[in-house]
Amino acid sequence: VTDLRPGELAAELRELLPAMAVLTDEPDLRARARDWWPLARLREVRGDRLSLPAAVVLPRSTDEVAAMMAWASRTGTPIVPRGLGSGVCGAVTPSPRSVVLELSSMDRVLDLDRESRLIHVEAGIRGDDLEAALAAEGGTLGHYPQSMAISTVGGWISAWSAGQASPGYGQIEDRLAGLTAVLADGSIVRLTPRPRHGAGPDLRRLFLGAEGTHGVVTEAHLAWDAADPRIVWRAFGYPAFETVLGAGRDVLRAGIGARVNRGWDETDTRHGFADQTDPDRPCLGVVGVAASAPGLDGRLDAVARMAAEHDGREIDAGVGERWWSRRLDAVDAFERLMGPRRELGPGSLIDTFEPAALWRDLPRVYRSVRAALEAHTSEVRCHFSHVYPTGAALYFTFVLREATDDQVERVYLAAWRDALAACQEQGGSVAHHHGLGRVKSDAWGADVGASAADLMRRIKGALDPAGILNPGVLGTPDRLPRLNGAGRSPSR
């Protein structure tokens, strides 16, 4: 590990890469000292002294990233790749001797291939800017995370992101045709875009969900579609969450081609759709189909038939439309609750957990995780929006209210510990599209299993033998005190 002091380190970097921005002022470091992990936000508003990185660098090209990584490898400097820090699990938590390598200045569109419908971008491009570039061509990526305007393509790949229209457009892996990454030693790997290929293993997957531990993704080739924003909605009330899940599964399996297919449990329906609650059918399900889909009426008839088979009763379809128009509101809501305003007051904390499971295990995962969270929290709600032939992801939102911020941190950590254990006991995976970060890092080994963990350690050893890329994440050793057990920094 480098023994340069922060000032010397920055001077050396400026000499090495004079054109690259190297930030060392405290407000700049502070702004990159955390992501949107609710516990990090709590600690910040509580006044804890966050661990600041030694510097933040803002490269402008793959070559600059390569030079930066070669330097980091020579000096043993830990590097924390960062998009815009919208991750919610603490994956961007720099240690005092680390350098944050933020991709936000690499935000250009490099090429647009209209015939193949591919766009080649730098990895720091923000989601909404990418959509705007495609909209100018009459296109869309179809990847719409709620955090569109505060996240980057590199972050999407690295956290294995999922968008809200995933039933129609797939997840980020379905859009990712090729990429460029820089490994720990500074070597550049270019994975050429292909529609699909069988020439050996799919190396793109080394970077999907790697949370910055395998390399720095600097460019991506993404597949896009013709924009077709008009959606026809159908909405149904169901007697229980299990029945909405069943309808969602059957709509998917029937190949109706729904663009959106989601359902809410009773508490989440009450929370989001107070005016839609029906005592007999307190759970809501909505399906949205592209208005231009061939045979639209037949598809909508099939949706209604499947809903009826699961005891669904049709309600005003406007509920789907209203949800869609509010789908990006979560960023403001989260900021109001966990930012300086703390609208729920001191001692409050809100977080989300997105386990994935096979259909056969899903009802048990739902019940067990819900019970584990309920034991610690004042409110638990759940919905699903990502469905697959073999299973689905659940999305729990949980709210904690304790007397003080110190108490809530203790309860929060206990809630996570029990929810993760409950999920894994029932055969679920603890991450679908948020990654593991620090809050779930202890669950990583059990999630993938011993043999896969061993293989991943060997791959990590080959790609980054000194362990300089995002230490502490994905089972890699950390030089920081454990964040999810040790509590706050002593020196506030």
Ligand X SMILES: Cc1cc2nc3c(=O)[nH]c(=O)nc-3n(C[C@H](O)[C@H](O)[C@H](O)COP(=O)(O)OP(=O)(O)OC[C@H]3O[C@@H](n4cnc5c(N)ncnc54)[C@H](O)[C@@H]3O)c2cc1C
Among 178, 212, 285, 347, binds ligand X (CB under 6 A): 212
| Span near ligand X by CB under 6 A; candidates 87-95, 114-122, 336-344, 475-483 | 87-95
Is position 98 an interface residue for ligand X (rule: CB under 6 A)? no
Asked whether position 350 contacts ligand X by CB under 6 A, the answer is no
Q: According to CB under 6 A, which residues from 315 to 344 bind ligand X?
A: 330-331, 334
**Which range of residues in 56-64, 149-157, 317-325, 449-457 is near ligand X by CB under 6 A?**
149-157
At closest approach, how far in Å is the CB of 159 from ligand X? 3
For ligand X, give the closer residue by CB, 421 or 466. 466
Query: Sign of the C-alpha dihedral, residues 351, 146, 120, 174?
Result: positive
Shortest CB 378 distance to ligand X, Å? 20
48-63 CB burial, b ≥16 within 10 A, e <16:
bebbbbbbbbbbbbbe
Q: Binding of ligand X at residue 86 (CB under 6 A)?
A: yes
Judged by CB under 6 A, the chain residues 54 through 83 that form the site for ligand X are: 80-83
**Which of 131, 211 has the CB closer to ligand X?**
211
Phi, psi of 366 (to 5 degrees): -60, -50
Q: Give yes or no for residue 87 binding ligand X (CB under 6 A).
A: yes
Tell me whether strands 99-102 and 55-58 are parallel, antiparallel or unpaired: parallel
Question: Is the Cβ of residue 317 or residue 459 nearer to ligand X in the bound state?
Answer: 459
Q: Which is nearer to ligand X, 80 or 306 (CB)?
A: 80
**Would you tell me how many other CB atoms lie within 10 Å of the CB of residue 374?**
14
Which residues, 6 or more positions from 172, have their beta carbon under 8 angstroms from its beta carbon? 143, 156, 157, 160, 161, 162, 163, 208
Return the number of the residue (250 or 478) whose C-beta is nearest ligand X.
478
Show the site string, 10-49: x = touches ligand X by CB under 6 A, - = not.
-------------------------xx-------------
Asked whether 167 and 259 are in contact (CB, 8 A), the reply is yes
Query: Toward ligand X, which CB reaches closer, 300 or 443?
Result: 443
Backbone angles phi, psi at 110, to 5 degrees: -90, -30
Structure tokens, 215: 């390399």
Quote the distance between the C-alpha of residue 133 and its chain's center. Answer: 22
φ, ψ at 416 (rounded to 5°): -65, -45
Would you say 193 or 246 has its CB closer to ligand X? Answer: 193
Count Cβ atoms below 10 Å from residue 404 Cβ, excluding itself.
Answer: 11
Kindly indicate which of the ranges 139-147, 226-234, 357-365, 455-463 contains the residues binding ligand X, using the contact rule CB under 6 A. Answer: 139-147
Specify the residue for token string 């005092």: 96
154 binds ligand X (CB under 6 A): yes
Any residues with CB less than 8 A from the CB of 368 and at least 6 apart, and which?
422, 423, 425, 426
Give how far the C-alpha of residue 153 lies from the chain's centroid of Cα atoms, to the nearest Å: 11
Q: What is the 3-state secondary structure (H, E, C) of 96-132?
A: CCCEEEECCCCCCEEEEECCCCEEEEECCCEHHHHHH
Lay out the site mask for ligand X across 451-480 (x = CB under 6 A, - = otherwise): -------------------x--x-------
Shortest spacing between CB 218 and ligand X, in angstroms: 7
- Which residues in this chain contact ligand X in the complex, by CB under 6 A? 35-36, 80-88, 91-92, 103, 123, 145-147, 151-152, 154-156, 158-159, 161-162, 164, 211-212, 216-217, 330-331, 334, 433-434, 470, 473
